[in-house]
Structure formats: C-alpha cells, structure tokens
Amino acid sequence: MFGPTSVSPNPHPLAGTVPLPHRGSSRAPGADRTEMALYGIYEISKLLAMPARMEINLAGVLSLLSSFLDMRNGLIALLDGTGAPEIVVGSGWSEATAKRYFRRLPERAIGRIVVTQTPLVVENVAHDPLFAGVDFSTWGPKGVSYSFIGVPIKVEDRVIGTLTIDRNWNEQPHFHYDRDVRFLTMVANLVGQSVRLQRLIAQDRQRLIAEQHRLAKAMADSVRSQRGLTAQSGERHGVVGDSPAIRAVLDKVRIVARSHTTVLLRGESGTGKELFAQALHEMSPRNKAAFVKLNCAALPESVLESELFGHEKGAFTGAHALRKGRFEMADGGTLFLDEIGEISAMFQAKLLRVIQEGEFERVGGSKTIKTDVRLIAATNRNLEEAVAKGDFRADLYYRISVVPLFLPPLRDRPSDIPKLAREFLRRFNEENGTHLTLTENAVQVLSGCYFPGNVRELENCVRRTATLAHGPSLTGPDFACRNDGCLSAMLWKGPARDAVPAGFQPLPIAPRNGAPAAALPPAPATSADEPPEAGGEWPAGCPAPGHCPATGDGKSEKERLVEAMETAGWVQAKAARLLGLTPRQMGYALRKHDIPIKKF
C-alpha cells in the first residue's frame, strides 16, 4: 500500500511489538495501536487544515508525532527545485538549529529517500554504511546506539521533502518498524497535500494580484483621459480641489461608484468623508434612490439599533407607532454609516448579520425584512489595531473593508487650500449677504498653515475670520494665527503649552523659501514599542513629519533616521517603531531628507 520499505544492512529480527506510549486499555494491543494511529492521523489532519504559517503547522505535526511514537527527535524538511532545504522544522528546535541538524544527516541517506521515493529504516546507525563517518557525539552520549526512519514527502509523483525521526535503540531495540513506517507514510502524505494546497493558493494569489494590477493599469489609462470630467464631477458633489492627491481619490470614486460594492472611507477627522460618500452615491446606478446617512458615534447603542432597524409599535416605552429604520429607508439606495469604528461589540454582531444576509427584524418585531442597500462606512480609527486588540470584530472588518478609499489630509494637498478657502468664503457671503474677498497675503497665510483639523478646520478658520473682518477683504493680519489667538494651536500644544517660548507662532507654519519650520515642544518620552496615539498622524510635539525637534544627543533628524534604519536592518516599519512613528510618518520623513532605501 505504501511502497517497499528500504531497510539497511545488519537487519534486526522484527520479533515482538512495542505498544504506543498511550496505553492502558483492556482491549487487545493490536486494536489499541490501530485506534491510536487513526486518532493520530485525525489530529494531524485537523492541525494541517488550520490557517497558519506552514512552519507553525509542521512544528505542530512533530509535536503530535512525539505523542504517538517512541521517538527522540523529529525533522521535516521541504526541498526546493535544486534539492536544497527550503524549510526545515524540528521538534522543539528553532529553524536555524533544525537546519544545522539536517545538514549533519548523511546526504547518502537523504538522497536514497529522495531518489528511490521509498521509506528508509536503519536499525542501528552506528553499524550502517550510509552513516559511515558521521560524528555521533552530536546525537547524544557516547556508547548509545540510535535507530533512524525516514519517509518521503511527495506531491503526485515528485518528492518535495522528507520526514525523519530517530530513537534510542539501546532502550528498546525491538521496535515494530513496519507499523511505524506505515504511520509516518500516512503523515507524510497529509503533509504533502497540505504543502501542495498552500502552494496552489499562493500561485492563485499571485495570479490574481497580477491580474488586478493589469486591470488597474488599464482602468487608470482610461480614467486618465477623462480626468477633467472627473474633477468637474467631484466639484459638482461638493468635493473641491484639483491637486494630484484629490484627483487620484476622485478617479477611484468614479470607478468604484459603478458597482454595488461596500466601501470603507478612511481618513483623519475633517477630510470630508461625507462628501465623498455623497459623490459615490450620486455617481452610482442607485442615484435615483435615497441616500441615507447616520453618525454611529452620536447615539447610544439602544437608540442606534432603533434608528438602523426601526421598531414596532409598543416595542418600548415611547414607541407609540411603527417606525422604519435607516436600512428600510435606504432600500434600493445607499446607506452611509459614519464613525463605524465607535459601535459596541454587541451591536457589531447585529450589524454583521444585516450586511452579510441582507435581512433584519425591527426592534420588538419577529418579521424578517429583506433589504437591498449599498453600504458606505467611514472611520478615522485604526481598525486594524482595534481588530488586533479585540475591540472590533474581524469578520465585520472584512465585510465593510471590501474597497477601502483613503482620503488625503489637507497637508498632502496644499495646492487645494486657496481654492477651498475661496469656496468657503463664497458660501459665507451667500449666507450672510456680504461681498468679502481674499487678498494674496491672506492666501499665503492660509497656505503656510498646517491645519491638523484638515478641511473642517480651514472652513472654521475662514468663517471666523470673515465674521470678525473689519474691511471688504480678508488680509493676513486678520487671521487668529497672526494674533496668537488660534484655538487649534492651543489644542495642538496640549500639556506642553506652558513651555512655549515668548513670541512663539501658535499655529505650526510650514517652511517657505528654505526657512526652518516652527517646531512645537517635544512630547513626553514613550516606549519605542508603543505606537502613536490612535487616530493621530504625528507624535505629539511634531507639527509635521520631518519637523520634529532635535533631541539632546546632538544628532540631527536625518542622522537619527539613518541610525534607526540601520538598527532595524532597513525595515521601515521596525525603524518607525523605534522612533515612535507610524510607517507612513517614517516614509514621509525618509522622502523629505532624500534618504535612499537599501535593499538586501
């Protein structure tokens, strides 16, 4: 059934059997061994079916084998196309230790398993010519004899690796090798099928990625020719700007809007997520139906459930009549859920069912209602971090993050600031019957500000200045940041506000004409392993990436960046953790200082 077993010279009589380690049943030893072997195969098959790295699964297989076989050490080696070890896993060893042990095995023994594609049994390696010249001092104490069993790991008719074990022959020389070889052959077959499936999945993934890149390039070429139309469409839906960053997002919005796919809008607070959601709806085939929106953070869980699903008459105190929920109101159209990262774990499960099954029941009702809604969600939270901490359900994350769209902060689109400022002033004039204008000096002041609150803060700044304006035009001195009255700067300074030197410009100003940027006081020291605050883009005390104040070690910012990258082996994510930055901040700082990334 499993092919011939290649037994080395100096055969030992295979008389008698040795029970497996787990025994104690009153039944016949043969029946116990068969049952234990089946149980072992069952447990190993379950382990190999788990979604984990191949090395972790193989280490688990060896751990289980030690429970079912009399073995000292176990080794699984997967070979590449040249026959060199690609992955080597040992029982209780690190990968480096396992590879060293595999290299100490004689090539003739491993070669015989690979070439003949049959198991190899050596009852006493000390007397076998295949192991001649091997230094057995590394195997264990002097004078101890060892047995060796190796079976091939095959995929179809090709050997892709070996499964080997060794055992102390002196302690129990009468082993039932045939039974153990059959058991190991079955295990090797399971390992081979698992490796084959994982490699097929990896190949399919690479193929899909390549196809996605090809389609994205073709789509980008098509969209690029219609970029002017796209920008006009964005402005028609309230999205103002023509910078490369905003055009790239509008290009994606126009593509995604044609489908019914769920979209997750990611971005800092104040980047205009609701406007982009409105644009997605109005550019979609559902634009004739309703666009319903709800801020999930504005309502408690009990009210949120009623708002989304509706309630029956008498469902609770105050429910005097039947009320439709937002899902019913948006049937056939689009539902926009803002701040979805703020909902509780219990409500996440309820929301998951509606998204997954397209059905729900009103509060206090038992009738199942079907709904056809295109869901657009938005958040400024780090959902990946929330999933890792268990604060946000992973299955809900995968449901809402089908097509994530990242909205650029205002600092990444500075060329849009003048256009946005004029649009906000135009709206102010319409609402208040005024005719204020922006001078070039005022535009320069706004273009030099950092605006951590993004577009919302820019709008507030323009409206506040317009409200307090003394003349027909807004000039540079009219703005609060020129009079030490910027409330945003006070929030940005936080607990370090008392350390601000006299004459310090409150709002962080970007450098112009090579002049150094104004820097805020450094933030309190944090552990290198701690990430930046959730939702924040830069560490406190840095007005922008690449503008952090120098530390007391006398090193420049560029020197500290290079030192961190060298310490981290030029891995940006690791270097970012060492400096207390996010990977995005690290990439920004490296580009600012024109530091080339070394590839190894």
- pLDDT for 484-513, tens place per residue? 677 666 666 544 334 333 333 333 333 333
DSSP code for 64: H
pLDDT per position as a tens digit, 571-600: 888 888 888 788 778 888 888 888 888 765
3-state SS, residue 38? helix
User: Do 476 and 555 share a domain, yes or no?
Assistant: no
Query: Side by side, which strands form the sheet with 73-79?
Result: 6-7, 120-122, 146-155, 158-168, 73-79, 85-90
Out of 373, 408, 443, a domain closes at 408
Amino acid 553: pLDDT: 54
**Percent of the chain having pLDDT more than 70?**
77
Whether 527 has a pLDDT exceeding 50, the answer reads no
Half-sphere exposure of 446 (CA within 13 A, CB side): 32
Residue 567, domain CATH: 1.10.10
Side-chain half-sphere CA neighbours of 324 within 13 A:
10
Same domain, 310 and 379: yes
Same domain, 462 and 527: no
Q: Is residue 215 part of a domain?
A: no
Highest mean predicted confidence (pLDDT) among 294-298, 434-438, 475-479? 434-438
Q: Write out the residue range of the structural domain in which residue 136 sits.
A: 6-200
Residue 506 lies in a domain: no
Sheet with 403-406, strands from edge to edge, namely 291-295, 334-338, 374-379, 263-266, 403-406
- Whether 282 is covered by a domain: the verdict is yes
The answer to whether residue 222 is domain-embedded is: no
CA dist 203 to 82, 159, 199, 435, Å?
A: 20, 19, 6, 63
Residues 404 and 418 in one domain: no
**Rg of the Cα trace of the chain?**
34
Max Cα distance, the chain (Å): 109
Which of 27-31, 417-421, 592-596 bottoms out in mean pLDDT, i.e. has the lowest?
A: 27-31
Q: Is the pLDDT of residue 546 over 70?
A: no
In the chain, the amino acid numbered 431 is E
The predicted pLDDT at position 26 comes to 42
In this structure, the answer to whether residues 195 and 290 fall within a common structural domain is: no
- Of the candidates 102, 108, 53, 105, the residue with the CA atom closest to the CA atom of residue 77: 102
Confidence band of 376 (pLDDT split at 50, 70, 90) = very high
Residue where one domain finishes, among candidates 440, 464, 499: 499
Cα(501)–Cα(498) distance, rounded to whole angstroms? Answer: 8
Residues 538 and 470 in one domain: no
Q: Encode 181-196 in three state secondary structure.
A: HHHHHHHHHHHHHHHH
22 and 131 within one domain: yes
Residue 277 and residue 292 in one domain: yes
pTM exceeding the 0.75 threshold for the entire prediction: no
Considering the domain architecture, whether residues 281 and 331 belong to the same structural domain is answered as yes
pLDDT per residue as tens digits for the range 351-360: 888 888 888 8
Long-range contacts of 58-62 (CB under 8 A, 24+ apart): 58/87, 58/89, 58/191, 59/89, 59/91, 61/187, 61/191, 62/89, 62/90, 62/91
In this structure, is residue 219 part of a structural domain? no
The 3 state secondary structure assigned to 148-181 is EEEEEEEECCEEEEEEEEEEECCCCCCCCHHHHH
**pLDDT attached to residue 265:** 94
Say if 240 falls within a structural domain. Answer: yes
Q: The CATH number of the domain where 263 resides is what?
A: 3.40.50.300
3-state class percentages of the chain: helix first, strand second, coil last, to nearest 5: 45, 15, 40
Residue where one domain finishes, among candidates 499, 533, 564: 499
Judge if 463 and 553 occupy the same domain: no
Half-sphere exposure in the Cβ direction for 510 (13 Å, CA): 17
Query: With the C-alpha atoms ordered 144, 149, 21, 77, is the resulting torsion angle positive or negative?
Result: positive
In-domain check, residue 510: no
Residue 140 has pLDDT above 50, yes or no: yes
What is the predicted pLDDT for the residue at 493? 55
Q: What is the C-alpha to C-alpha distance for residues 242 and 419, in angstroms, rounded to an integer?
A: 9
Which token pair is 323? 């009320």
Percent of residues, the chain, with pLDDT higher than 90: 14
Two structure tokens written together for 397: 């994350």
CATH number at residue 46: 3.30.450.40
- Is the confidence at residue 173, as pLDDT, over 50? yes
Q: What is the rounded CA–CA span in Å between residue 455 and residue 477? A: 21
pLDDT score for 237? 60
pLDDT at 522 > cutoff 50: no
For residue 161, what are the β-bridge partners?
A: 78, 153
3-class secondary structure, 198: helix
Residues 39 and 10 in one domain: yes
The three-state secondary structure class of 104 is helix
What is the H or E stretch that residue 335 is in? strand 334-338
In a domain, 504, yes or no: no
Tell me the CATH number at 451: 1.10.8.60
Instruction: Count CB-CB contacts under 10 A for residue 129.
Output: 12
Compare 468 and 40 and report the one with higher pLDDT: 468
Please report the sign of the dihedral spanned by the C-alpha atoms of residue 137, residue 139, residue 143, residue 148. negative
Number of domains observed in the structure of the chain: 4
Q: How far apart are CA 144 and CA 126, in angstroms?
A: 9
Query: 108 with 156, same domain?
Result: yes
Cα 189 versus chain centre, distance? 33
